[in-house]
Amino acid sequence: MQKVFEELTTAFRQNSGVLEEKQYIDIVTKHTTLSEDSETIFILLQASGYPISYDDDRYTLTPYFTPSNKQRYCIIDIETNGSKPETSQVIEIGALIVEDGEIVDKFETFVSCTFLPEYITHITGIEPIDLIDAPTRKEALIALKHFMGDAIFVAHNVEFDFNFLNASFDRFGLGHIGNLKLCTIDLAKRTFKSPKYGLAYLIDELNIETATHHRALSDALCALKVMQKSFESLPKYVQSSDELLQFSVSSKRERGIKDRLEQKGVTKVS
């Protein structure tokens, strides 16, 4: 499904956020198996968290039309007992749902684990006893999947959290994560200057209080604070959620071109 997510997002961006039915079918049928038709794939896309909707024989990428300050975001942090999902697992998940700039829901859980290296306990403060009666990995992942919905997946160093969870979901037959993703490190680098952009450094730099670094929910909250700081300095041409996502990975040259166009009064830059 990952290929479907990528090709659809590219096509939506090339077609002003909307695809006609034939365009959609042409893309998804490239990846159709004997048991999946285009309608089934649409259901799977929505179930995976991919923000697609259908109306009037047209498909829409919803973040393309959603103002960035109105978007539903899921800010996530995980603690693990190792760095590779092939040989390690999640031991704690913390997540926040933010909508209209406000925290509207929270998710926090330990995850059952029989192997916890001492160095992980030293880093996180999580003890083996904390994990004994915790939900199983599958239970925790299913709960997280329902919690995320189709919100934009946000994390500090998003590739680690996203890829680790994606591999974990796949291992338990829960499919791939289709949510669009936003990295608060990438966004911070494009909106404010700092000698370093690691979360521990920014906690001090931004005077984030009550932070307990390397605990999932606390780090998710700190990532939210970094995102909010970045939102204060977004250029005016970043209006929609999808424009925010593209801005967060844009090159200095791309931003320079858009800045100059904005100064000339061109308010919508493709």
Question: Catalytic site residues?
Answer: 214
Q: In what order do the strands lie in the sheet with 152-155?
A: 102-110, 90-99, 72-80, 152-155, 181-183
Which residues are bridge partners to 110 per DSSP?
A: 92
The pair phi, psi for residue 75, each rounded to 5°, is: -90, 120
Query: Using CA atoms, how far apart are residues 228 and 187, in angstroms rounded to an integer?
Result: 10
Instruction: Report yes or no: 91 and 109 within 8 Å, Cβ to Cβ.
Output: no
The SS3 assignment for 73 reads: strand
Do residues 15 and 59 lie in contact, with contact meaning Cβ atoms separated by under 8 Å?
no
Angle between helix axes 2-14 and 21-28 (nearest 10 degrees) is 150
For residue 89, the 8-state DSSP code is: -
Greatest C-alpha distance within the chain: 61
Q: How far apart are CA 136 and CA 141, in angstroms?
A: 9
Rounded distance, CA 237 to CA 259, Å? Answer: 8
Closest to 74 (Cα-Cα) out of 139, 165, 138, 11: 165
